[in-house]
Amino acid sequence: MAARSDAWFRRVGTVSLTTSGGSQVQGFGAVLPWREERADLWGERPHALGRLPGPLYQFVGSFPQLLEAQGAQLTQGEERYRVLGAQEVTLGGCRLFERALLERWVEA
């Protein structure tokens, strides 16, 4: 199923993931605003991780490495995001794609 999900998301865009160790891997998918209205991008949102400050983003695509990448940096184009959590989306026990909750990366 990995080859099929790669084909689904290949035309959407390429993303790269940089882990805390400095290694980089690439995948396919898109970063979208997460359940936010344009006028309501700032503020806190309830989540299983706690109350998260906005704006938050969601990655949807073919990128199995995200499942082990909490805290890593995800880059799409010029934009960078921190991976807050990721999960695999399945149907009937078969992997369809990965989904991750992101926040914009801020340099310390």
What confidence score (pLDDT) does residue 12 get?
Answer: 74
Residue 68's CB: how many other CB atoms inside 10 A? 11
CA 102, CA 82: separation in Å to the nearest integer? 5
**Partners of 92 in the β-ladder:** none
The list of the chain residues with pLDDT below 50 reads 1, 39-41
Provide Rg for the chain, Cα atoms.
14
Residue 31: closest CA among 68, 63, 71, 64 = 63
